[in-house]
Amino acid sequence: MLSYRHAFHAGGYADVLKHWLLVEVLSYLNSKDSPWTYIDTHAGGSLTDFESALARKVSEYRDGIGKLWASRNAAPSSIAAYLALVEAFNSRGKLRWYPSSGILAQRLARAQDRLHLFELHPADYASLIKCFHSRRVGHCYREDGLNGFLRLLPPPSRRGCILIDPSYEVKQEYARVAKALKAAFKRFPQGVYLIWYPLLADARAKKMAEGIMQLATDNYLKTELRIRACSGMGLFGCGMVVLNPPWVLPERCQQTLPWLAKQLAQDNSAGYEVTYKIR
């Protein structure tokens, strides 16, 4: 069950889409002084070293952040904040280190904000807690995130962002995510929820995404990034559903996704879709 290691996939195109959207949401929450709470149900580790043996086994980042890196100076301004954050972990223009979702959130958190990170893998959990010495800002739990996060809702701040990012290696996870979200939304209907899902020949993930959108029929954004044709084998892209998105997000998607799809394309089928309804 815990054979999945995010270090193999860190910085891949899936991380790019997810982390860019996460940075957009948290930056938007930072536009007001009132505190926010960030919850990451599947946080992964802390920083991935692309020169480590683990990351070099697959080097998925070459098809993700690696492709953006060289042309980052020509990137649209709507993705600049994400690229600048990644750059801050690297020196002299060399791409070696890549932050996880929790570390990105930590960088964007202010003194008044709070982070709650769930991670089951012992090695990834150990690397996370090393980066979160101060419990005042962050708390890491070696615990099932889909069960654990519900007790934290609603957060005292009543402003919050919840990232749900399982690997879906266990097929029951689609149903678990849908069920947990339904319960979460009941407790905290104002939260901004980001849910990542894979694009696969099997329509299970798409069906889950459609179901999740029913929770906020008048306030959601769904985006899908295809990087290659569906061959029937493996991922051909990924998607994100954002419930209660910041009102600026549709425009940011229109500004960013054409460039992202072009940079990350692996064949002529590459492209993107955005559907939304904003209250």
Catalytic center residues: 165
CB of 68 to ligand SAM, least distance (A): 16
Among positions 43, 85, 242, 261, the unique one binding ligand SAM when judged by CB under 6 A: 43
Binding of ligand SAM at residue 4 (CB under 6 A)? yes
- Would you give the DSSP letter of residue 100? -
Q: Decide if residue 121 touches ligand SAM (CB under 6 A).
A: yes
Of the listed pieces 127-135, 163-171, 233-241, 269-277, which binds ligand SAM according to CB under 6 A? 163-171
Amino acid in the structure at residue 10: A
Q: Which is nearer to ligand SAM, 6 or 228 (CB)?
A: 6
Q: ∠ CA 253-254-256 to the nearest 5 degrees?
A: 60
- Candidate residues 65, 146, 212, 213; the one interacting with ligand SAM per rule CB under 6 A: 146
145-179 b/e (C-beta count within 10 Å ≥ 16 → b): bbebbbebbebeeebbbbbbbbbbeeeebbebbbe
Cβ nearer to ligand SAM, comparing 79 with 219: 79
Cis peptide before 258 (omega within 30 of 0): no
Token readout for 128 is 């996370």
Task: Output the smallest distance, CB 59 to ligand SAM, in A.
Answer: 16
Is there binding between residue 18 and ligand SAM (CB under 6 A)?
yes
> Are 5 and 54 in contact, with CB atoms under 8 Å apart?
yes
Which of 47, 54, 75, 120 is the binder for ligand SAM (CB under 6 A)?
Answer: 120
State how far the Cα of 175 lies from the Cα of 275, in Å rounded to an integer: 23
- Interface positions with ligand SAM (CB under 6 A): 2, 4, 6, 15, 18, 40, 42-44, 100-101, 118-121, 124, 144-146, 165-167
